């Protein structure tokens, strides 16, 4: 293609929200990324870099800097220096910057979507229609609160906490960065954020966007690295708040590490949600809800509906419809806009899922997978359901974080409430029924931070999200999410 044509394509790209597979050649990804500290990209202290791969092709996409304790210290110092001015800026001025970030994200939506899919493996349809628009919406939503903190928390003298250390996972890389950064800035805090090792690229694109937005230097710092970089953020003495989304194990370690300090903390951890189908539910819609609940983002979703409970009287018909629907799912190239299930985020995660599938079979579960074929290269897993499982099975109790559903039946409402709650997690749940009274009855008894009724996996910046028990504490989203970045 001539370079003139190529330029035109690039120019149009930001407005064209319908990327074709070959468009991945027309997003700009650098060969190497440095750390974003104090408004500029700087080399890591160790001079070390690590590769990030496309999980659908196993190809290396780029390499990113490996931040050590010295880099973390530099980022925290930049955030501390910026905090003085940023926290004293009027809410209206802060809001202007956050609106600008939101608008720039909309303008570059296509590029963000393509990079998110290349780096993480999720279907382009999801990054394009869900992740990126929702991330921009979070910035829009919290920009609106920046000059209304006094109204949001009347007579409570809301003040920012200081420097927030934010650590995010690989399943919704850009969206989790937005969930963390937008409320922190609106409340007047400054930020040091670390994306996950396997999906750093959209956070680094966001760093470029933030630089271009003219946000004062040091207000947002984005540093890449592995678990030890995250640990260095947690342990840094000049961090005022830790906001973490990730596994329950690391969440527990963080809580121990900050015990005895006055660091504030919110933890968004794992889940194993019950998706409950009553006999009076609209069954075809419920089947779509089951599919979306467990196969959205390859099941790499903390609130995935990974335990299905179907009322006995409709179990046969629901399972038949579910199997038929699974036959139609397209597993494969995440850049193809017709793909339903993309690539598993990493080899390591694929091995974990495959191990759980073996465990499920060995425990006596009856496995069903559709007849689809998987691509030869890359990390792929067939959508999988297990029948004939019970509460004691490991695939019922443990978070798999993949496209694997454990199915049980129930007779009475009391029975299903008990089974749904009999789990270490308490993040989310789904209820499908025609009766409003049943919904109210159940939602008050299910120990879950979010309960969806006759829908599943719906997210909105205005609505708080978070867990009970081993799913963590604190809420993100809505006013609750704003309050978590203020002393009130």
Residues marked active site are found at: 268, 302
Stretch that binds ligand NAP, among 145-153, 158-166, 226-234, 330-338 (CB under 6 A): 226-234
- Pinpoint the alpha helices (H) of 89-199: 91-107, 109-120, 124-126, 132-145, 149-152, 173-186
Among 137, 166, 198, 221, binds Mg ion (CB under 5 A): 198
Q: For residue 452, what are its two tokens? A: 């969806």
Q: Is 171 in the site for ligand NAP (CB under 6 A)?
A: yes
Distance in angstroms between the alpha carbons of the first and the last residue of the chain: 58
341 binds, among Mg ion, ligand NAP, none (CB under 5 to 8 A by kind): none
For ligand NAP, the closer CB: 26 or 180: 180
For Mg ion, the closer CB: 52 or 166: 52
Q: Is 345 in the site for ligand NAP (CB under 6 A)?
A: no
What residues contact residue 153 under an 8 Å CB cut-off, 6+ apart?
483, 486, 488
List the beta strands (DSSP E) in 301-427.
307-311, 366-368, 384-387, 404-410, 425-426
Handedness of CA 25, 67, 401, 303 (dihedral sign): negative
The sheet carrying 49-53 orders its strands as 32-33, 60-65, 49-53
Between the alpha carbon of residue 8 and those of residues 3, 12, 25, 106, 230, the distances in Å are 9, 6, 13, 19, 40
Window 39 to 98, contacts with ligand NAP (CB under 6 A): none
290 binds, among Mg ion, ligand NAP, none (CB under 5 to 8 A by kind): none
268 binds, among Mg ion, ligand NAP, none (CB under 5 to 8 A by kind): ligand NAP
| Cα 236 from Cα 189, distance rounded (Å) | 16
Closest distance to ligand NAP from the beta carbon of 270 (Å):
4
Q: Is 133 in the site for ligand NAP (CB under 6 A)?
A: no
Q: Is 52 in the site for Mg ion (CB under 5 A)?
A: yes
| Cα 424 from Cα 227, distance rounded (Å) | 24
For ligand NAP, the closer CB: 17 or 51: 51
Compute the radius of gyration of the chain from its Cα atoms.
22
Window 233 to 272, contacts with ligand NAP (CB under 6 A): 234, 245-247, 250, 253, 268-271
Stretch that binds Mg ion, among 70-78, 134-142, 198-206, 323-331 (CB under 5 A): 198-206
Helix axes 109-120, 201-213, angle to 10 degrees: 160
52 binds, among Mg ion, ligand NAP, none (CB under 5 to 8 A by kind): Mg ion
Window 359 to 418, contacts with ligand NAP (CB under 6 A): 399, 401
Binding site for ligand NAP (CB under 6 A): 167-171, 194, 196-197, 226-227, 230-231, 234, 245-247, 250, 253, 268-271, 302, 399, 401, 427, 467, 472
């Amino acid at each position: 293609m001539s370079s003139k044509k190529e330029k035109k394509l690039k120019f149009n790209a930001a407005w064209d929200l319908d990327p074709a597979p070959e468009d991945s050649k027309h997003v700009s990804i650098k060969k190497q990324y440095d750390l974003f500290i104090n408004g500029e990209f700087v080399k890591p202290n160790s001079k070390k870099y690590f590769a990030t791969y496309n999980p659908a092709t196993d190809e290396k996409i780029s390499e990113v800097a490996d931040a050590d304790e010295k880099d973390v210290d530099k980022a925290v110092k930049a955030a501390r220096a910026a905090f003085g001015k940023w926290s004293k800026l009027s809410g209206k001025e802060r809001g202007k910057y956050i609106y600008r970030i939101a608008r720039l994200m909309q303008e570059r939506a296509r590029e963000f979507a393509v990079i998110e899919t290349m780096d993480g493996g999720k279907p382009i349809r999801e990054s394009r229609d869900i992740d990126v628009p929702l991330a921009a919406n979070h910035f829009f939503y919290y920009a609106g609160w920046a000059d209304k903190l006094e109204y949001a928390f009347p007579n409570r003298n809301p003040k920012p906490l200081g420097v927030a250390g934010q650590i995010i996972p690989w399943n919704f890389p850009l969206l989790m960065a937005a969930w963390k950064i937008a409320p922190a800035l609106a409340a007047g805090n400054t930020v040091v954020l670390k994306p996950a090792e396997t999906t750093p690229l959209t956070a680094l694109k966001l760093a470029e966007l933030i630089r271009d937005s003219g946000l004062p230097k040091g207000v947002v710092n984005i540093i890449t690295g592995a678990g030890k970089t995250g640990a260095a953020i947690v342990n840094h003495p000049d961090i005022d708040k830790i906001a973490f989304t990730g596994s329950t194990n690391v969440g527990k370690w963080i809580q121990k590490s900050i015990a005895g300090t006055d660091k504030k903390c919110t933890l968004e951890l794992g889940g194993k949600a019950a998706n409950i189908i009553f006999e009076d539910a609209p069954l075809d819609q419920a089947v779509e809800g089951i599919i979306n609940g467990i196969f959205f983002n390859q099941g790499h979703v903390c609130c995935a509906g990974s335990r299905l409970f179907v009322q006995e009287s409709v179990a046969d018909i629901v399972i038949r419809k579910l199997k038929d629907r699974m036959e139609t799912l397209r597993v494969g190239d995440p850049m193809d806009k017709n793909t339903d299930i993309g690539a598993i985020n990493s080899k390591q995660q694929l091995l974990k899922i495959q191990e759980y599938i073996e465990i499920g079979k060995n425990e006596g579960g009856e496995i069903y997978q559709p007849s689809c074929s998987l691509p030869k290269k890359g990390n792929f897993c067939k959508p999988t359901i297990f029948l004939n499982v019970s509460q004691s099975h490991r695939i019922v109790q443990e978070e798999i974080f993949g496209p694997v559903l454990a199915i049980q039946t129930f007779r009475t409402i009391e029975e299903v409430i008990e089974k749904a709650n009999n789990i270490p997690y308490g993040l989310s749940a789904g209820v499908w029924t025609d009766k409003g009274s049943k919904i109210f009855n159940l939602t008050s008894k299910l120990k879950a931070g979010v309960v969806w009724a006759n829908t599943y996996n719906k997210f909105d910046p205005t609505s708080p999200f978070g867990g009970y028990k081993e799913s963590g504490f604190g809420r993100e989203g809505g006013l609750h999410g704003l309050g978590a970045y203020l002393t009130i």
